[in-house]
Amino acid sequence: MTTLDPTVTDPGQSVRRSRLRLPGGESTAMLLVLPIVVGVLFIGYVIWRQTADLDSIEESTLAWAAIREQLVTHVAITLVASLIVVIVAVPLGILLTRGKAKAIAPAAVAVANAGQAAPSIGLIVLLAIWLGFSFWTGVLGLVIYGLLPVLRNTITGLQGVDPTLVEAGRGIGMSGAGVLLRVELPLALPVIMAGIRTALVLVVGTAALVTFIGAGGLGGALTSGITLFRFPVMVAAALLIALLALLIEWVGRVLEVVLRPKGI
């Protein structure tokens, strides 16, 4: 298979796989199939919602206005958290592959790994007790949870760049920044984008838990269904969260293909 594993651990193998990946192969098929599957399932949900025999509690919980408000909040907290993850993790990953900072790269990855290894609901609740129950506390919890894939893949991607290409860049007079921007980052971009896509999926799924600290999102409908023992509400909320996660994953895959430098 020529696809890139987002949880790569071998730098050389990662870059080699990204180079062998065929632009018209599996990625193209996924770009076409995934949105169609999501669209068909959502249409099925709409038909069910319009024809289902629901009681008053189920009707109010699954009202279109309520679901739309929760969906907007869920997408907003996912995008804000993911943007902060990229802003923090990519420059930090670059820094940890330069000079003496290389020595602390394992320790930094270990700290990020601890953030992701911690139970997500426990981490979010502890942050809420410390900082308060709010949207931004939920964002912080998701940032901590989504930091590792981007940081690890940035370091892995840069470490996997062929040293002879770096030396060639320096040999033709490029500065350190020039080599980084024109040689290293373009070659490492497929690995970095795989990490960003993994972080997007982690964040959009975990965002269902921030409803416990009052940050909103589609987790509200899910918890209402569990609390009130309404099976249709539970299934509907879980389906919508799953469809949103698939759609976000598809967006990440599109960005990965679009931003991939030509010839890599």
Q: Terminal CA-to-CA distance of the chain, rounded, Å?
A: 16
Predicted TM-score (pTM) of the model is: 0.80
Which CATH class for the 31-259 domain?
mainly alpha
- Tokens 């290293």 belong to which residue? 184
Query: What confidence tens digit (pLDDT) does each residue in 111-146 have?
Result: 777 767 778 888 888 899 999 898 999 999 999 888
* Tokens matching residue 210: 């921030």
Q: pLDDT tens string for the chain (264 positions)? A: 334 444 444 444 544 444 445 444 555 666 788 899 999 999 999 999 999 888 888 888 899 999 999 999 999 999 999 999 999 999 999 998 888 888 888 888 787 777 677 788 888 888 999 998 989 999 999 998 888 889 989 998 898 888 898 888 888 888 888 888 888 998 999 889 889 988 998 999 899 999 888 888 888 898 888 888 889 999 999 999 999 999 998 888 888 888 777 666
Residues 212-223 have pLDDT tens digits of: 888 888 888 988
Q: List the one residue out of 88, 99, 101, 261 whose CA is nearest residue 182.
A: 261
Can you tell me the distance from the alpha carbon of 127 to that of 107, in angstroms, rounded to the nearest whole number? 23
What are the residue ranges spanned by the domains of the chain?
31-259
